[in-house]
Amino acid sequence: MAGAQALGGTDGKSSFKAWRRARVKRLGLALLKLLAKLYSRQSLVPDTPFVPNHHFPFLAEIEANWKDIRAELKVILQERERIPFFDKISPDQARISHSQKWRIFFLWGLGEEVTGNTARCPRTAALLRKVPRLRSAWFSIIGARYRIKPHRGITKGVLRAHLGLITPKRWQQCRMIVDEQPVQWRKGRCFVFDDSRTHRVANDTDEERVILLFDFDRPMRWPSSMLHRMALWLMKRTAYYKDARRNLTRHERAQMTEAARDQAITDAMQRIAD
């Protein structure tokens, strides 16, 4: 009897945590939806599905050095099986990440550098550090004949950039559609879009597609800029972020070589010294 009571108590606690998580998520999304209207009015760049590159001068240097980035990527891809699937890092992405055809190599997450990974691609990391208010960055690897369902990011306060690194020969058949506007990835080319708008991806070729994806703050006037930073600060204290960060840390520790770990520590100490 005691054992049954204990089990019931455990189930009850688990159910309460699940309910609380879902409740917090709903409240958070409702708040971000309200903030999106303010962000739109106070944006210093066009509030359109795609934002022209000339609004972001730092993109030119990234495009100019895309071959260096691709060279570091190719070294990482030599150990492809050690790169985690997206839903293994962030369980909340399970709806759009399926069939084990979407791998993610994280470099930054919500403003925090994943030093074990950036140590393996120092040139890429150096270029990303020049992006104003960088929030997240990763290499996104999707397999052949793979589609990502329609979805949308959680905040209009962040813009997303894609840099094409490895694209199928039939690049016209590998595309993303944002608010029904299509775009294809081209090697060495960046484009910026509003991740909070509904978008989907279709790779209808027999080759994989790999890009460098990175998020940065939308340029906005005050008080939107301040409210955005507060919203992200709160987000980092939710299970949505903590679960992903814990999974990423666990995977990083398991996969990092001693040499990479030593290099990551050296780089971190150097940045502190600077």
pLDDT of residue 235: 74
> Which of 78, 83, 121 has the alpha carbon at shortest distance from 100?
83
pLDDT at residue 238, rounded to an integer? 66
The tokens of 247 are what?
């999974």
pTM: 0.77
Domains assigned to the chain: 39-273 (2.60.120.330)
In whole angstroms, what is the distance from residue 113 CA to residue 201 CA? Answer: 27
CA–CA separation, 74 vs 70, rounded Å? 6
Q: Give the tens place of pLDDT for each residue, 234-261.
A: 877 766 555 555 555 555 555 545 445 4
Opening angle at CA 134, ends 130 and 135, nearest 5: 160
Instruction: Identify the pLDDT of residue 16.
Output: 59
Residue type, 48: T
Sheet strand arrangement including 146-151:
146-151, 199-203, 174-178, 181-184
235: left (phi over 0), alpha (psi -120 to 50) or beta: alpha
Q: Which residue has the tokens 């960055």?
A: 137
Residue type, 45: V
Q: Would you give per-residue pLDDT tens digits along the chain (274 residues)?
A: 333 333 344 455 567 566 555 655 566 566 777 889 999 999 999 999 999 999 999 999 999 999 999 999 999 999 988 898 875 554 444 455 455 688 999 999 878 899 999 999 999 999 999 999 999 999 999 999 999 999 988 899 999 999 999 999 999 999 999 999 999 999 999 999 999 999 999 999 999 999 999 999 999 999 999 999 988 888 777 665 555 555 555 555 555 454 454 444 434 434 333 3
pLDDT of residue 267: 43
Query: What pLDDT is recorded for position 217?
Result: 97
pLDDT at 123: 97
In degrees rounded to 5, what are phi and psi of residue 51?
-110, 125
CB burial readout 186-222, b (16+ within 10 A) else e: eebebbbbbbbbebbbbbebebbbbbbbbbbbbbbee
Tokens of residue 154, six digits: 């959680």
pLDDT in tens, 143-182: 999 999 999 888 999 999 999 999 999 999 999 999 999 9
- One DSSP character per residue, 150-199 reads EE--S-TTEEEEEEEEE--SSGGGEEEEETTEEEE--BT-EEEE-TTS-E
